[in-house]
Amino acid sequence: MEIGECAVEKINFWRGKKVFMTGHMGFKGSWLSIWLDQLGAQVTGYSDAPPTDPNLYQCCGVDQLVTPVTGDVRDEARLQSAVKAADPDIVLHLAAQPLVRASYQRPVDTYAINVLGTVHVLEAVRLHNLQGGKVKAFVNVTTDKSYSNKEWFWGYREDDALGGFDPYSNSKACSELVTAAYRDSFFNPAHYGRHGVAIASARAGNVIGGGDWASERLIPDCVRAFGQQAPSVLRSPYAVRPWQHVLEPLGGYLLLAQRLYEEGAAYAEAWNFGPEERDSQNVEKVVSRFCGIWGEGAAYEVVPGGDLHEATALKLDCSKAKARLGWKPRWNLDTALSQTAAWYKAYLDGKDMLQICRSQIELFEQSRG
């Protein structure tokens, strides 16, 4: 199946679908809300607050594109009430404490949000369907860091062992196990008939893109440093990560949710969404290329060290998504970096950022990989 065909298929599929999304105020969630709005979906978003100031959600007016509900995934009663009111066809679970270093500082919160939060969302869906709801598809967005990292230089496959050294990575592996348990115990359509929900998890690589202002993330740190006419500081210059534009995995989530909705249990499993092998690069190479694209005022310096453990090498094998979903990356690393730089420069120039996002989504949809 050609990527262009997938894009048309998704446009037809999503029009009028009712979607419940946790974490819609986050970086990924805001981009996905904008995209779903363009596709004609009716989105109810559930989040407690934007994670940073500034943030993509507010600068693009995403609250005008969705039905927003303020709530925390740790609040079980609030979440159940929100799912019941939304009466969704599809649930996309993106809410998370997403930062490795923050997980060392707040491990209890990290586990409560990433593990018990997942339980609460799945339980809300289970109870809603038992009471007559019609949720058919559920995608739990986890991370490539869910794997038990062996520091090898080939890509992890979906059947490799889960684990995680730090609280963030480990909590996301736990979220994967929770997802599997609910799928097997409560939601298998073959066993539970109309109460069944096709559930999958999605493990993406390191995303970049405009509108991310999180602390201690590579590209946001660069943009902040460049704005202060200072060099960006690299802690782990030789760490290899699977870099990809944020629209790459989001396109995978949309396609996966469609397959789950239409074909059910055949796609109810774990899926990797990452870049081509050549785009898994070390930190210094990525920043060097970003500096070259940014131009005047962009520089970096290497200050190795730090007392917190972070994996040195991490890659994903996405052959299953390519073969069975018809998904593949569309933008290489240079294009992803160029589009990211263009977004931040437009923001600094005071442009209409919702329109910039819409234009980049349209450009992405037109790309064939």
pLDDT in tens, 41-51: 999 999 999 99
- Residue 332's pLDDT band, with cuts at 50, 70 and 90, is very high
Q: Which domains does the chain have, with CATH numbers?
A: 18-206+244-275+313-331+352-366 (3.40.50.720)
| Residue-level pLDDT at 7 | 46
Rounded mean pLDDT, 219-248: 95
Q: What distance in Å separates the CA atoms of residue 361 and residue 92, rounded to the nearest whole number?
A: 19
pLDDT at 178: 98
The C-alpha atoms of residue 206 and residue 217 are separated, in whole angstroms, by 10
Q: Over 70: is that where the pLDDT of 141 sits?
A: yes
pLDDT for 4 equals 40
Query: Given this model, what pLDDT does residue 205 score?
Result: 86
H helix runs in the chain, sequence order: 3-14, 27-39, 56-59, 76-86, 100-105, 107-111, 117-130, 167-182, 189-192, 218-227, 247-263, 283-294, 319-320, 333-348, 353-366
Mean pLDDT of 138-160: 92
**pLDDT score of 5:** 44
| SS3 at position 155 | coil
Per-residue pLDDT at 144 exceeds 50: yes
**Stretch 260-279: mean pLDDT, rounded?**
94
First to last CA, the chain: 13
Q: What is the DSSP string of 53-66?
A: SS-HHHHTTGGGTS
Compute the mean pLDDT over every residue in the chain, rounded to the nearest whole number.
92
Amino acid at 38: Q
Phi then psi dihedrals of residue 329, to 5 deg: -60, 145
Q: Are 24 and 318 in contact (CB under 8 A)?
A: no
pLDDT, tens digit, 9 for 90 and up, residues 94-119 = 999 999 889 999 999 999 999 999 99
pLDDT at 301: 96
58 pLDDT higher than 50: yes
Instruction: Output the pLDDT for position 231.
Output: 97
pLDDT at 323 over 80: yes
Could you give the dihedral angle defined by the CA atoms of residues 134, 137, 140 and 146, in that order, rounded to the nearest 10 degrees? 140
Distance CA 47, CA 45 (A): 7
Count of CB atoms situated within 10 Å of the CB of 1: 10
Range 223-229, long-range pairs (CB < 8 A, 24+ positions): 223/344, 225/300, 226/294, 226/297, 226/298, 227/348, 229/297
CB atoms within 10 A of CB 289: 16
**What local confidence, expressed as pLDDT, does residue 154 receive?**
85
Query: To the nearest 5 percent, what fractions of the chain are helix, strand and coil?
Result: 50, 15, 35
Determine phi and psi for 43, rounding to 5 degrees: -105, 130
Could you tell me how many residues make up the chain?
Answer: 369
CA 83 vs CA 90, 100, 134, 263, 283: distances in Å:
11, 29, 11, 23, 40
Give pLDDT, residue 308. Answer: 63
Span 70-84, average pLDDT: 98
pLDDT reading at 312 higher than 70: yes
Looking at residues 62-78, what average pLDDT do you find?
A: 98
Q: Is the pTM of this model over 0.85?
A: yes
Peptide bond into 107 cis (omega under 30): no
Is residue 3 predicted with pLDDT exceeding 80? no
The pLDDT, as a whole number, for residue 11 is: 55
Q: What is the pLDDT of residues 276-306, one digit of tens each?
A: 999 999 999 999 999 999 999 999 999 976 6
Q: How far apart are CA 33 and CA 216, in angstroms?
A: 24
Higher pLDDT among residues 152 and 207, named by residue: 207
pLDDT score, position 1: 38
Q: What is the pLDDT of residue 313?
A: 80
Q: What is the pLDDT of residue 151?
A: 80
